[in-house]
Amino acid sequence: MFHVIWSVLVGFVVGLMARLLMPGADSMGFLATSIVGILGSVVGGFLGTVLKKPEPGSNFHPAGFVLSVVGAIVLLWALRMAH
């Protein structure tokens, strides 16, 4: 249960960082920002794995937070293009 709460909180922070770094207005609440951050983390993790495989036995990719924010920015951009 703690893992789910932690994922939502980290997703919210990642989503906020992406919204701060990407210019323009987004009318999103807590839930939408958290979902963008969580999905951005998934996209960022995929990009990190494509660029460089994590060390065997490691739980996280070394550039996890930065790539999560990059993934969330990519997702925000895609959402804006869809509207």
- Average of pLDDT values for 12-30? 85
Position of tokens 């909180």?
9
Count CB atoms within 10 A of the CB of residue 69. 23
State yes or no: pLDDT of 48 exceeds 80: no
Residue 63 has pLDDT above 70, yes or no: no
With 0.75 as the threshold, say if the pTM is over it: yes
- 60, pLDDT greater than 80: no
Q: Judge whether residue 23 has pLDDT over 70.
A: yes
CA distances from 9 to 1, 4, 20, 54, 78 (A): 13, 9, 17, 24, 23
